[in-house]
Amino acid sequence: MSDLLTTEEYKAIAAGLNPPTQAFVDGSFRPAKSGKTFDTINPATGEVLAKVAACDAADVDFAVEKARDAFEDGRWSRLHPGERKAVLIRLAKLIKRNARELAVMESLDSGKTIYDCETVDVPETIHCLKWHAELIDKIYDQVSPASDNHIAMIVREPVGVVGLVLPWNFPLLMLAWKIGPALAAGCSLIVKPAEETSLTALRIAELAMEAGVPAGVFNVLPGSGPDVGEPLGRHMDVDMISFTGSTETGRRFLRYASESNLKEVTLEMGGKNPAVVLDDAENLDRVAAHVVNGAFWNMGENCSASSRLIVLKGVKDDLLKRILAHAREWPVGDPLDPVNRVGALVSKAHYDKVCSYLDKGQKVLMGGNAKDGFVEPTILDVTDRDAAQAREEIFGPVLSVLTVDSFDEAIAVANDTEYGLAASIFTSNVKRAIRGARAIRAGTVTVNSFGEGDISTPFGGFKASGFGGRDNGIHAHDQYTQIKTIWVDLSDDADEAVN
């Protein structure tokens, strides 16, 4: 995967793609019951890639029925952990075998650069599935310290039928983050990909069937939020929803659960993530590279993007010179050209939203230009801390610079947000690093780097960024299991048994 092709070679692969377009239910592709379709658009060109099945509540009912049948008869839920592990490892191998096809499909469907798809998204998808597969037969249950006359076992059981609602910014990787632990736990799944980016989820479902995931266990229903997401969230026979996306939509899933069967809901939502640079930070050139990567990677369409640079006044000018230099190394253009680091925004609607933040009166230090779905990396000097660019999640390649006078002020500004997903702090003082990391209200805080940890570390947020569980790590498996106590009375005497 490290050997990138030429633009012409990627375009030749794109021309030969025949992506799946129908819903995948009970082990086979099927049209939507209504017969309706919707266009999936290449955001870089505006061309229609394919007409995809537009599912609705009738398809949800059918998929839930088949998923429930599969769960109850135990074809996957009661399969030996080692056998589930073997199937998931085969799936990871099949994805690797089809990696280039999936990378090009992902780039065409989402506007992501082929550079990112080849070097990050597809390899990390494979790694995620393998990691969770290997964990299946290594998680032990527990026995409590009960009396000599009792044994108390604390065991995990799969939660049941799970709805997995995906975002459009990392279609493959977020699919892996969810199906890895959910399949490992033994659940039956109904995946609702984002309407903008359905193709790779359908292809992975096909590969999962080839790998040996039984029919009915892994179902994919493309369609809109109102037509598929809401019926899934309200369905009385869905045991859990795992959602990644906007905070506004996450609130809806809580409402759907409260008005239906009180299904479990796990939410991973938005962020307005700070990168705090103190005046004792070492190697400002390296700091600048991290800040630029955090702000502009994946076009800023990243819930953990470093969209706020909070910098002490004494180091601001020197740091900004370096940031501007590094930002120029992020060319914008055709996503299938591996030279480009910034591709097209995912849709016309999202492009218009991001562009609206470029016209709100802030001082532009770099960029600020947009055309035909592409937005240049943009850096704004924001003096009003209540400005939209300082408070709202833009979800585009826009970095807002906020100036502070002290460590305490920097931490206060970092926490002055409704969100709490990720943050970073740059300093050479170990005490300030630990104090700052503890004080910032975010689920992941990196020190002297931008990042989210890795597959072994839990990822999720505080406040309006989400709750109910964590993606990644062993903790991800907890989302998809119920904990049961089995209390066994060993006494022979009836009186002792009563006591």
Give the catalytic positions in this structure.
268, 303
Torsion of CA 361, 363, 367, 373, to 10 degrees: -20
CB 27 within 8 A of CB 211: no
Torsion of CA 249, 190, 38, 124, to 10 degrees: 80
Tokens 């939410």 belong to residue: 267
Tally: H helices and E strands in the chain: 18, 24
What is the edge-to-edge ordering of all strands in the sheet holding 218-220?
A: 28-30, 23-25, 218-220, 188-192, 161-165, 240-244, 264-268, 466-467
Which two tokens mark 116?
Answer: 């990112």
Q: How far is CA 156 from CA 163, 186, 476, in A?
A: 19, 10, 13
Torsion of CA 460, 271, 164, 30, to 10 degrees: -150
- Alpha-carbon span 338 to 393, nearest angstrom: 28
CB 420 within 8 A of CB 446: no
| Amino acid at position 450, single letter | F
- Alpha-carbon span 425 to 138, nearest angstrom: 35
Q: State whether residue 104 is helix, strand or coil.
A: helix
Which two tokens mark 435?
Answer: 């104090």
- Alpha-carbon span 341 to 322, nearest angstrom: 18
Own/partner long-range contacts of 250-253 (Cβ < 8 Å, ≥24 apart) = 250/466, 253/165, 253/229
- Alpha-carbon span 173 to 179, nearest angstrom: 10
The string over 104-113, giving b where at least 16 C-beta atoms fall within 10 Å of a residue's C-beta and e elsewhere, is: bbbbbbbbbb
Tokens 């370096």 belong to residue: 322
Based on its alpha-carbon atoms, the radius of gyration of the chain, rounded to whole angstroms, reads 24
